[in-house]
Amino acid sequence: MIDLKSLIRNIPDFPKEGIGFKDITTLLKNGPAFQIAVNALCKPYRNQKVDVVVGIESRGFIFGGAMAVELAAGFVPVRKPGKLPAATLREEYKLEYGTDAVEIHRDAIQKGMKVLLTDDLLATGGTAAATIRLIKKLEGEVIGVAFLIELSFLKGREKIPDVPIHTLIDFAQE
């Protein structure tokens, strides 16, 4: 059995001092590991109805696209401001300094659709929480959130209280 955690490369002080960046490219380039990760991320949802998988730019696209095919669901991108071409909704969220925002196409999700959200990594939870607000504004039902990696010492789960969270790899300390 492949140890997925051992395939994550830690890059100290990237993109700025004090951040331990979790580089997933070392896992992605390993075919069997990538397949195991996608299968394991999909596991809780195989017997549930999933209309669309929402992936967050940019590494959420890699897993979200693969999971959508695996679950025979559609794929919806959530992007940084100004990237999506048609009419969008925007949600802002707080960073340590300042704010950031995510956008979704207004017609990406219809009322009552079952939505699975995915991203590569759960840190403070701000990005996922803002994305959940976008999905709820469009009246989609978030059935779960799946992350390859969780930095549990940052307590991001506390920002996502109402949705079941599925993660494969945990880093309990920096």
Which CB, 7 or 122, lies closer to ligand AMP? 122
How many angstroms separate the Cα of 44 from the Cα of each of 143, 168, 173? Answer: 10, 12, 26
- Point out which span in 45-53, 79-87, 121-129, 137-145 binds ligand AMP (CB under 6 A): 121-129
Q: Is 81 near ligand AMP (CB under 6 A)?
A: no
Q: Is 126 near ligand AMP (CB under 6 A)?
A: yes
In the complex, minimum distance from the CB of residue 4 to ligand AMP, in angstroms, rounded to a whole number: 15
Q: Is 6 exposed, middle or buried (0-12, 13-18, 19+ CB in 10 A)?
A: exposed
Q: Is 152 near ligand AMP (CB under 6 A)?
A: no
- Point out which span in 38-46, 68-76, 83-91, 115-123 binds ligand AMP (CB under 6 A): 115-123
- Pick one of 51, 91, 103, 119: the residue that binds ligand AMP (CB under 6 A): 119
Q: Is 75 near ligand AMP (CB under 6 A)?
A: no
Q: Is 22 near ligand AMP (CB under 6 A)?
A: yes
Per DSSP, 99 falls in state E
How many Cα atoms occupy the beta-carbon half-sphere of 129 within 13 Å?
17
Helix (H) or strand (E) holding 17: none
Helix (H) or strand (E) holding 171: strand 165-171
Residues that bind ligand AMP (CB under 6 A): 19-22, 56, 59, 119-128, 156
